[in-house]
Every structure is written in C-alpha cells, then in structure tokens.
Structure 1
Amino acid sequence: MLFRSLTLLCAIAAASLGWLSAALAVDEIALARVSTLPDYDSFRLLKESPPERAMSIRADRAILTACDDALGGRLGSVLPSEALTEVASKCTDIGRQISQAAPTWAFPAFVSAVSAYHLGDRETAFADLRQSRRFGPYESWLAERRVGFALQLLEEAPDFAREALNADIAALLESRLGRIYVASIYVRSPDVRPLILAQLESLEPDLKREFLFRARQAANPLDMRNE
C-alpha cells in the first residue's frame, strides 16, 4: 500500500513538473517571438496585450528588446503621443519587474530610462540611465543605445546629456567597432564633435589615425571604396 502511494505521488509530481515546463516553454516562445517582429508589430503587441514576463533571461531580453524597438526606434518618433504613453507605461512596469529580479542588469535600467522619459519623468529617466551605465559600462551595443538616447537630450538637458555622452563615448573608443560607431556620430552630429575630439586626446596615435580614417569613411563612403 505504501509503495503504491509513493508511486502515485511520484507520478503526480512528474506530471506537475511536465505541465510547468511546458507552460514556461510556451511563455518563452511567445516572448522570444516579440523581438523578431517589425517595430510596429512589437508596438501593437505591447499596447494591446503585453506578455507577462517569464522566468528566463532569454525571454526577459526579448520583451525588453520589444520595448526598446517600440519606444526608441524610428517608430517612436512618429506615433501618436497617447499611444506612445500607453506603451511607455507598460514598458516601465516591465523594466521595474525585471530590474527587481536582476538588479545589476543594465538593459532593463536603460528601458526604464527611455520609458520614464516618454512619460515626462525626467528625473527618473536620468537616474535610470546612470544606473544602466553603472552596471554595463562596456557593453558596446548598449552604450550605443545610450549615446543615441543622450543625443536626444542635448537641447533639453545639455549638462546631463554631455555627462552621459562623455562616459559612453570614452568606453566606445576603446574598441574597433565602438570607434566606427563614434565616427558615424562625429559625422552626423556636429554639436558633439568638440566632445569627441576631447576624448580622442587620450587615445594612442595609431588609434587616432584609425578614427580619422573611419570618420572620412563615414562622411564619404563612396569615395573611400577605392582606398
């Protein structure tokens, strides 16, 4: 009798674990799909039926990417303000939940910063952007996202924007891909050129020459093909 009871308990436990694993897998597949959608589809999904966060880094990254695409991409600049505010509010909640579970992860702090900015909460946006830089100073892809965001703040909050740009541009100049990105900023954002030139002073001469080549390449991509 005892053996049968133990066997039954084991079977129930196995079935429960199997159901839980299947449910989590479905959630993760749904969340991972979010980041593969075009910007508008990500925006529409977040606005109409934002998925609940699952229990994995991959799934959390997928939904954070969807928020970043919807709020920080080209779509965010053309959407009606009411719709953008609604998505920003939901992405703020998502960013906070993920940050509570992973307090030293820089990506949710960045998403929270962009969301807070769209909600008009500048103080929180600035604090969260600093937090993102603190926890991910050398994640190049995220430093590029922060630079793009800080460029939007130059007119409204020039002192903060320059502080943010100085820190992330200095980090980006330490890698080849980062120098390529900063060179593109140098070409298309004249207001930031003095700041970039100041950062170049700390580079080795050969890296300075490489940067100037990248800048010429970004300014005249067709002319540089034959060099």
Structure 2
Amino acid sequence: MSSLFNGLVLIVTALILGSSGAYLVAREMAPFEFSFAPRSEIFDRLVSEPAPVPPSIFGTNVALEICDETMSRLSFQLAPTARKSAVANSCLETAEQALFEAPSLSYGHFVASIAHFALDNSGAARDALERSQSLGPNEQWIAERRVSLAEVHYDALDDYVRAGHLADLALLAQSRRGIRSIAARYVANPDFRERVTAVVETLPVEIQRRFVSIVRAEARTIGVGA
C-alpha cells in the first residue's frame, strides 16, 4: 500500500507541476501574443482590457512597451476622448500591475506617467515621471522617452521634475545615440535648444564639441540649417 500511495503522490505532484508550468508559460507568452496583433487591433484590445503582465521582467517590459508605443502614436492623440481614456486606463492598470511586482521598475513609472498625462492627472503624472527619473537615471533608452514626454508637458512640470529632465538631457548629450534622439527637436524648438545649450555648457569641452558636430550633421540630414 505504501508503494502505491507513494506512486500516487508522485503522479499527482507531476500533474500539479505540469499544469503550473503550463500556466506560467501561458502567462509569459500573453504579452507577446498581444503585441503580435496589428496596431489597430492592439488599440481596440486596449480599449477593453489591459496588456497582460507576466512573471518575468523581460515580458513585463514587453507589456509596458505595448502601452508606450500605443500612447505615443498620433492615432492615440487624435482618438475620440472616450476611446483615448479607455486605452490610458488600461495602460495605467498594466503599469500599476508591473509596479506591484517590481516597485523600482523605472519603465513602469514612465508608462504610468504617460497614462496619467493622457487622463489629465497632472499631479500623478509628475510624481510618476519623477520616480522614473530617480529610479533610472542612467538608463538612456528610458531617458530618451522621458525627454520627449517632459517636453510635450513642460509647462505642467514642477521644479523637481524639471531638474530630473535636465539630468536626462545631460545624459543624452554625452552619447551619439542620445544626441541624435534630440537633434531634430534641438534644431526646431528654440526653448528646447536653450535648455539643452545650458546643460551642454556645463559638460567638458570635448563633449561640447562632439555635441555641436553631431547636431550639425543631423541637421543636414533632416535638411535644416543649424
């Protein structure tokens, strides 16, 4: 009897582990399946449900990127208010779930900030953007996104967030990729150019020279004088 009992325990354990593994795999794949849909379908799905957050950080970033990309498109800005708000609420839910699992995830706070701005929750948006700045000060790929968001909503920022914004600009001004990410705005927007120039002038001379050289090259590429 004991051997039979032990055998049953092993079978039940294997079934539990197997079903648990399948469940985890399904959870991990969910955001990828979500992201594979055409853009219009992704928008429609976000109107009715949040992007699913899986166990891994990599998969979580995929879920957050779904929202980041959707809310950064012109089609989102031009959408009817009800649909735009529905998507923003879904993305806020995705961000909050991601932050429940990983409170220090800078990208999660950034996506929450986009959603709050879209919902006209300026105070919450500022707080989320500031947390993203403080938790990911050296993550250039997020800094590039934060700079764009901060510039769009610059008048709504407080002194703390503006200070973090300047730190992001200083980070971007020190690499070729970072400079290229802000070059078009630098050439086209005098206020932005003034902010960046003030930051760059605090950096070492060789970095200043490289910045000017790359911006001029990018300006020629986009057909604008600098």
- Alpha carbons 2:143, 2:172 under 8 Å: kept: yes
Shift of 1:154: 2.5
Shift of 1:107: 0.6
Ranges of 4+ aligned residues in structure 1 off by more than 6 Å: none
Say if 1:87 and 1:156 are closer, same or farther in 2 by CA, change over 3 A: same
**Residue type of the alignment partner of 1:23:** Y
Shift of 1:119: 1.3
Say if 1:223 and 1:187 are closer, same or farther in 2 by CA, change over 3 A: closer
Which runs of structure 2 are paired with 1:1-227 in the superposition (5 Å)?
1-157=1-157, 162-221=162-221
Say if 1:47 and 1:170 are closer, same or farther in 2 by CA, change over 3 A: same
Structure-1 separation of matches of 2:109 and 2:102: 10
- Alpha carbons 1:85, 1:119 under 8 Å: kept: yes
Structure-1 separation of matches of 2:109 and 2:203: 30
Shift of 1:155: 4.0
Question: Per-residue displacement from partner, 1:161-205 (whole Å, max 9, x unpaired)?
Answer: 643431210122232321222333311322211111111112222
Unaligned runs of 5+ in 2: none
Structure-1 separation of matches of 2:61 and 2:184: 27
- Alpha carbons 1:117, 1:125 under 8 Å: kept: yes
- TM-score, normalised on structure 2? 0.89
Shift of 1:100: 1.6
Structure-1 separation of matches of 2:161 and 2:135: 18
- Alpha carbons 1:54, 1:60 under 8 Å: kept: yes
Aligned CA-pair RMSD: 2.2
**Residue type of the alignment partner of 2:183:** A
> Which region of structure 1 is more displaced relative to structure 2, 155-164 or 30-39?
155-164
Structure-2 separation of matches of 1:178 and 1:75: 26
Q: Aligned with 2:16: secondary structure?
A: helix
**Residue type of the alignment partner of 1:221:** T
> Which region of structure 1 is more displaced relative to structure 2, 50-59 or 193-202?
50-59
- TM-score, normalised on structure 1? 0.89
Structure-2 separation of matches of 1:222 and 1:72: 21
Shift of 1:51: 4.5
Paired residues in the alignment total 224
Say if 1:74 and 1:141 are closer, same or farther in 2 by CA, change over 3 A: farther
Q: Percent identity?
A: 29
Structure-1 separation of matches of 2:37 and 2:190: 34
- Alpha carbons 1:99, 1:105 under 8 Å: kept: yes
> Which region of structure 1 is more displaced relative to structure 2, 18-27 or 156-165?
156-165
Say if 1:202 and 1:36 are closer, same or farther in 2 by CA, change over 3 A: farther
